[in-house]
Amino acid sequence: MSQNPLEIFSHNSQSVSRRGFLQCMAWLGTGAVWVMQGGVLRSQTLDEAAHSLKGSSDFTFVQISDSHIGFNKDANKDVISTLHASLDKINALPVQPDLLIHTGDLSHLAKAEQFDTLSQNLSSLRVKDQFFVPGEHDIADDLSEFHNRFGKNTKGDGWYSFDHKGVHFIGLVNVMHLKAGGLGLLGNDQLEWLEDDVRPLSASTPIVLFAHIPLWSVYPEWGWGTEDSAQALGYLKRFGSVTVLNGHIHQVMQKVEGNVTFHTAMSTAFPQPKPGSAPSPGPMKVNDNVLPTLLGITAIHRMASHHEIAIIDKPLASVTSVAHEEETSARDQQTEVSSLPHTISISNFKFVPEILSVKLGQTVRWINKDDSPHKVMANDGSFKSPLLDTNDHFEFTPTKTGTFGYFCSLHPHMTGSIKVD
């Protein structure tokens, strides 16, 4: 996992220009297929896939991700419409998938009405077997709103497994109990459960593992990875075919490592920048006619005979040529930093200033200037904010001297400290 993330194969790899990337997306939309064979992903043309899927497809399932219901900023003011475009495409598939998997961030702010809106919309699907894992946006103080609707019959923080036509599916939760300076986390309880869960399976059982934050090191600088994923994957080493599906990064990235194929999905709501190509992750404003090509669904076809999994990424619309220069980044306009004393601005997924000195008795105020929510949490748990949406603030008055570390409990790579004297 020591690859430079920019060198990891993806549709927008260095080998293709931006124009090529968009043509690639359009090409995908018209039916390029990713096939996993013996642990290696390969692409097929539409004709090949249509032929091979028609006769030999055992079953298909579809993945959507990162609906962010409730998001209404510039990057996409109408996340319901773009969700609907995905759902319409799923309903129109010539072969209806057996299952739908949603890989998290159903909601933007974990509000009851946002979850309800998603449920209502998903009820229009012909696919009735729907499976979910939470994203960090689905946690308010806890996962209760998510659990009440989507986490029934799950274990621990919401992990579970099930079998479908010979494939063992495992849904994992890696957005809870995150630690300052860390990444996504599965935790010991879940790892132990996973080890037990797969123990009775024969090594020839195909495994599909899904979780919100990537279970591979996409870009740890932005928190795009899971601290203890190697241990989880260690339990799956003996299996011949393991497919890992994630969301969170709002773009397609794929990697094959031994018997494991990793795949991240696009968001139905808004795109995020390529790793390292912007000051921070977060909603990316792009030209309106580009947006539909960056939002999409993933259809995965499982072939009965060859233990192959074909992955089709299907953008909502096809745009054949849009110049790179037309893109703008919302974050370019987000460098505003408050000059008020004792104020920490949360901007571009950073606490500014990172270290703040105050006198005992003075109040510290955090203001979120990002289009993404954040949540301030003391390293020792002694104070925590509610979920802070854009322009929300939180105040805390230290009652003793010393240096106090804190982090964002949604994005634990964001850290800061307060020096009180």
Q: Tell whether residue 301 is a contact of Cu ion (CB under 5 A).
A: no
Task: Single out the segment in contact with Cu ion by CB under 5 A; choices: 234-242, 246-254, 285-293, 401-409.
Answer: 401-409
Taking the least distance from each CB to Cu ion, the nearer of 160 and 396 is 396
Q: Tell whether residue 137 is a contact of Cu ion (CB under 5 A).
A: no
Using the rule CB under 5 A, which residue among 218, 378, 410, 418 binds Cu ion?
A: 410
Taking the least distance from each CB to Cu ion, the nearer of 244 and 388 is 388
Residue 13, judged by CB atoms within 10 A of its CB (0-12, 13-18, 19+), counts as: middle
Compute the least distance from the CB of residue 214 to Cu ion, in Å.
17
Q: Tell whether residue 269 is a contact of Cu ion (CB under 5 A).
A: no
Task: Single out the segment in contact with Cu ion by CB under 5 A; choices: 253-261, 331-339, 383-391, 411-419.
Answer: 411-419
Q: Which amino acid is at 78?
A: D
Q: Tell whether residue 127 is a contact of Cu ion (CB under 5 A).
A: no
Taking the least distance from each CB to Cu ion, the nearer of 82 and 174 is 174
Using the rule CB under 5 A, which residue among 307, 314, 411, 413 binds Cu ion?
A: 411
Task: Single out the segment in contact with Cu ion by CB under 5 A; choices: 122-130, 196-204, 301-309, 369-377.
Answer: 369-377
Taking the least distance from each CB to Cu ion, the nearer of 160 and 404 is 404
Number of residues lying near Cu ion (CB under 5 A)? 4
Alpha-carbon span 320 to 24, nearest angstrom: 9
Q: List the 129-132 sheet strands across, edge first.
A: 40-44, 33-37, 308-315, 296-303, 57-64, 99-102, 129-132
Compute the least distance from the CB of residue 136 to Cu ion, in Å.
8
Task: Single out the segment in contact with Cu ion by CB under 5 A; choices: 46-54, 91-99, 142-150, 370-378.
Answer: 370-378
Q: Return the ∠ at Cα 193 (arms to 190 and 196), rounded to 5°.
A: 155
Q: Tell whether residue 330 is a contact of Cu ion (CB under 5 A).
A: no
Phi/psi of residue 360, nearest 5 degrees: -55, 135
Tell me the C-alpha to C-alpha distance, in Å, between residue 93 and each of 86, 125, 144, 198: 11, 11, 34, 32
Taking the least distance from each CB to Cu ion, the nearer of 87 and 176 is 176
Task: Single out the segment in contact with Cu ion by CB under 5 A; choices: 51-59, 106-114, 387-395, 400-408.
Answer: 400-408
Compute the least distance from the CB of residue 75 to Cu ion, in Å.
17
Q: Tell whether residue 408 is a contact of Cu ion (CB under 5 A).
A: yes
Taking the least distance from each CB to Cu ion, the nearer of 134 and 296 is 134
Stretch 373-392: interaction string toward Cu ion, x if CB under 5 A: -x------------------
Alpha-carbon span 225 to 183, nearest angstrom: 6
Compute the least distance from the CB of residue 80 to Cu ion, in Å.
24
Stretch 83-112: interaction string toward Cu ion, x if CB under 5 A: ------------------------------
Q: Tell whether residue 274 is a contact of Cu ion (CB under 5 A).
A: no
Taking the least distance from each CB to Cu ion, the nearer of 138 and 313 is 138
Answer whether the bond into residue 134 is a cis peptide, omega within 30°.
no
Which positions touch Cu ion (CB under 5 A)? 374, 408, 410-411
